[in-house]
Amino acid sequence: MFLWAQSCKETPVKSPTQPQVNESPTSTDETTKQKPSILNTSTSQEFTEWNHYPILDTAIKNLETGDPSFFKQPIEDISQLFLDIKKSVPKSLKTNGILARVKVTETLARKLHELYSVEDTDLIESEQTKADLIESHSNLKFQINKTREKEAQRIIKPI
């Protein structure tokens, strides 16, 4: 009984193995707004040979700011631009990943052109296509950057 009385008087000792973690409170709005950032910078080195790509890049940037005039042009102009882009892809960027993303961007550009040319257009569908086109262009730029990174990391083995 004496041991039981002694054990009741002792206070438990905290174990030093569990470190304290101080968490800062974050709101749900902050966590939903945080997206992984994709580096979409492009150097002019690759685009000296690929002179038609900046036209597309400018058209997409204008679309983001609310100017869809490029996609309201005749379809022949858009088709010719993508034909020129595919013909003039620099050799270092001529990979299946980049060519596939160019094709997706072309398909969405054609779809957006069709939506703008129809008088009775569904606004929700046109906004979704616009967002998809901007995202596909972002993915194209991301793939270009990843291809460049991979090429820069390639180490030539001595013979």
Percentages helix, strand, coil for the chain, rounded to the nearest 5? 65, 0, 35
Q: Give the model's confidence band at 48: pLDDT under 50 very low, under 70 low, under 90 confident, else very high.
A: low
pLDDT reported for residue 156: 78
Q: What is the pTM of this model?
A: 0.66
Residue 102 falls inside a structural domain: yes
Q: Give the model's confidence band at 138: pLDDT under 50 very low, under 70 low, under 90 confident, else very high.
A: very high
Residue 107 falls inside a structural domain: yes
The answer on pLDDT for 157 being more than 50 is yes
Top pLDDT among 8 and 56 is at 56
Residue 38 falls inside a structural domain: no
The answer on pLDDT for 149 being more than 60 is yes
Q: Model confidence over 125-137: pLDDT tens digits? A: 889 999 999 999 9
Q: Model confidence over 49-102: pLDDT tens digits? A: 678 889 999 999 999 998 889 998 999 999 999 999 999 888 888 899 999 999
Angle between helices 75-87 and 96-117 (to 10 degrees): 170
Residue 145 falls inside a structural domain: yes
- The answer to whether 52 and 84 are in contact (CB under 8 A) is yes
Count of domains observed in the chain: 1
The answer on pLDDT for 22 being more than 50 is no
Domain that holds residue 141: 43-152
